[in-house]
Amino acid sequence: MSDMTSDLRADIKQRRPFESLEQEAHLNIERTAAVLSHAFAEALKGHGITPTQYNVLRILRGAGKDGLCRNEVRDRMVAQVPDVTRLLDRLEDADLIERERSTEDRRQVGTRITAKGLMLLGELDGPVADIHKRQLGHLSAAQLKTLAELLSLARQRP
């Protein structure tokens, strides 16, 4: 295995050593996320949606015909966004989702994916799987499992 520190330092053109292992790990996570995210966003761009919008559509597809309220969508998102309502507005304007106020509780607004949204996700399922395979397919199953476990541990608070 190559020296990961020199790989990252070369990648970001840093000459000095990192201040700590924690800093190096953090920068490695940030750099890797940026590289993976950029390629993912580029693949979605041709379909007229962002990775955040894709995430919402996947959440709503998983929720089924009952859908979810705005806060439930927000809580399930991979990356937090400051204005979920505006995000949902854009998806509704594109006819990818629909919202309906509850008759029992007028404060609750259910959000569901539309047939057009389901069709778009169906078109993207294969290409997205291909992107993941291209980006991470060179890692073994054991390496992927270890990576996922370590990242999960990094997100836990002491």
Distance between CA atoms of 68 and 86, rounded to whole angstroms? 16
pLDDT band at 93 (very low <50, low <70, confident <90, very high): very high
Q: What is the predicted pLDDT for the residue at 103?
A: 63
Residue 5 has pLDDT above 70, yes or no: no
- The answer to whether the predicted template modeling score (pTM) of the entire model surpasses 0.75 is yes
* Strand, coil or helix: 75: helix
- Alpha-carbon distance of 151 to 154, in angstroms, equals 5
Contact 43, 64 (CB under 8 A): no
Q: Which fold has domain 46-155?
A: Arc Repressor Mutant, subunit A (1.10.10)
Q: Are strands 68-69 and 109-113 parallel, antiparallel or unpaired?
A: antiparallel
The C-alpha atoms of residue 99 and residue 114 are separated, in whole angstroms, by 10
105-143: per-residue pLDDT in tens?
656 788 999 999 999 999 999 999 999 999 999 999 999
Give pLDDT, residue 6: 54
* Contacts (Cβ under 8 Å, ≥6 apart) of 93: none
For CATH 1.10.10.10, the residue range(s) in the chain are: 46-155
